[in-house]
Amino acid sequence: MSNRKLHPATLAVRAQMERSAQMEHSAPLYLTSSFAFESAENMRAAFADEIEANIYSRYSNPNVDEFANKMALLEKAEAGFAVASGMAAVSMSFFALLKAGDHLLCCRSMFGGTNTVVTKFLPRFGIEYTLVPADDLSAWEAAIRPNTRMIYLETPTNPQLELIDLEAVGRLARKHGIIYNVDNCFATPVLQTPVDFGADLVIHSATKWLDGQGRVLGGVVVGKKELIHDIYLFCRNTGPALSPFNSWVLSKSLETLDVRIQRHSENALAVARHFENHPKLKWVKYPFLSSHPQYEIAIKQMKAGGGIVCFELSGGLESGRKFMDALELLSLTPNLGDSRSIASHPASTTHSKVPPADQLAVGITPGLIRISVGLEHVDDIIYDIQQALEQA
């Protein structure tokens, strides 16, 4: 379309691999483990990186490349690489770029699986870490050491929905020459693009909002070309490959991401407002509620609040169990970002491997409930939560 700059929502629909001689309208599936060569010389040149060619689907595949390239476009990044799951994306961004003696600086509030990788596995390889409060920028700078190689954060955080000032941390990373790595899973590129605030890498669990229907696992890292190349080389040799089929599903899912996230956000805001002053709840948290502690940060760097609402039941663990068991419409599953609304209890599921004291330090209490607000009619979602609260 000449030199016209297309809107990201249009890119999500229209960006795809070149058509084959069959002139297909939708991208075909390349369900193959390897690719053939016309000559021994072409095969040698491909392995020597002298020519660009698909060799083996652990290295690259047209479907995987299409999904990763589309995500790079949406996140305004130079390049991307897709892997088998969100945790593979997180882990590969660490292990490909950090070495023994390096120091990783992280927000204390983060997904339970990421916490386990950082606190249990990285030290086995001689990589040090420091966890700092998400909302204390002075603590971030005070924790930087001469060997600090990377800053890693989530915003909004999982599950407490804490907001971190991306621009302020970006300035800090540039000042000290540190890789700036942001998990943008909860916001998606529809609501927030961390590259605009200085991020060098952006990570997603594609299993969540990017797929949006609870079908497939996937992960993706986008960012600066030289960093993505290092991640690619590491993954090419260690093998966390994303399947072509899952890639095809995820690439098609991106075509509806914009409209889905708008509806998720509208429904979630309505749910949060409805229950904000409910007598059985100690508090309700949602980024676009004015009562959110970091509301000003949310409206500065996000276009809407996303699809997650969390609240704390006054009765603690026992009330939480009764609430979950009383739900009729909402699903009980540890996933999120589905078209169907989901309720989960982080302390006993996604963050159960985090020590209880550490859970409490980041606000994961026994009564905390995380709601992934789906695409059902909002009145039905509210009714189910209301009737479950009455029984809790």
Mean pLDDT of the residues in the chain: 94
> CB under 8 Å, gap of 24 or more: what pairs does 4-12 form?
8/73, 8/74, 8/189, 8/190, 8/258, 9/190, 9/258, 11/70, 11/73, 11/74, 12/70, 12/74, 12/254, 12/255, 12/257, 12/258
Query: Global pTM?
Result: 0.94
How far, in Å, are 67, 221, 247, 307, 323 from residue 216 at the CA level? Answer: 13, 17, 9, 19, 28
The whole-number pLDDT of residue 366 equals 83
The whole-number pLDDT of residue 47 equals 93
Amino acid, res. 43: M
CB 46, CB 55: distance < 8 Å: yes
All structural domains of the chain: 8-253 (3.40.640.10), 257-391 (3.90.1150.10)
Task: Spell out, as residue ranges, where the chain has pLDDT lower than 70.
Answer: 1-2
The whole-number pLDDT of residue 1 equals 53
Q: Which tens digits make up the pLDDT trace of 148-193?
A: 999 999 999 998 999 999 999 999 999 999 999 999 999 999 999 9
The whole-number pLDDT of residue 353 equals 74
